[in-house]
Amino acid sequence: MTGAPVAGAGRAPLALGLLIVAVGFVADQLTKLWVLFGTGLPQGESIRVLPFMEFILVWNRGISYGLMQQHTELGRWLLVAFSIVAIVLLSAWMRRTDSRFTAVALALIVGGALGNLVDRVAYGAVVDFVHLHAFGWSWYVFNLADTWIVAGVLALLYDSFRLGGRSSA
């Protein structure tokens, strides 16, 4: 047996990707439900987690990290449409890739985009709640979905530079 393809081997990256999409999406939504219904954050309270980290509720009407804020219904639904297009295109890429690394990176982005999409449709804005700060410096307030998206983008960038990007082509 020399180099014969294994039946179904091409589906392994997709199956792994779909699992990561599901786990990332569920983890994101569970944390947001906890913030909204299991804490006092909606009433303006905050939870100090570490000296440099607290949980506070911020309704993000833009994309990740508060960019492109939209204060109209048209803006909200344009972001919904943009998210859907991005999810469909990235999912198609994930379906075609034979690289597990690329599938994981794309799955992180898709899972995060789905989490934020559900918020935007259900609440009109995204539930952000993790606030990092230290030495007078304050970072954006974000959520797990934003973390998944950034990790996925960084992984895709890494993959594009290693070995000349041959693994994700």
Distance CA 50, CA 135 (A): 14
Are the C-beta atoms of 97 and 147 separated by less than 8 Å? no
- Measured distance between the N- and C-terminal CA atoms of the chain, rounded to whole angstroms: 27
Q: 28, 119, 128, 159: which one is catalytic?
A: 128
Are the C-beta atoms of 156 and 167 separated by less than 8 Å? no
Distance CA 150, CA 168 (A): 18
Q: 28, 98, 119, 146: which one is catalytic?
A: 146
Four-residue CA torsion sign, 149, 152, 156, 157: positive
Are the C-beta atoms of 44 and 131 separated by less than 8 Å? no
Active site residue 128: yes
Residue position matching structure tokens 């973390």 = 147
Active site residue 98: no
Alpha carbon 94 to chain centroid, angstroms: 15
- Which residues are designated catalytic? 128, 146
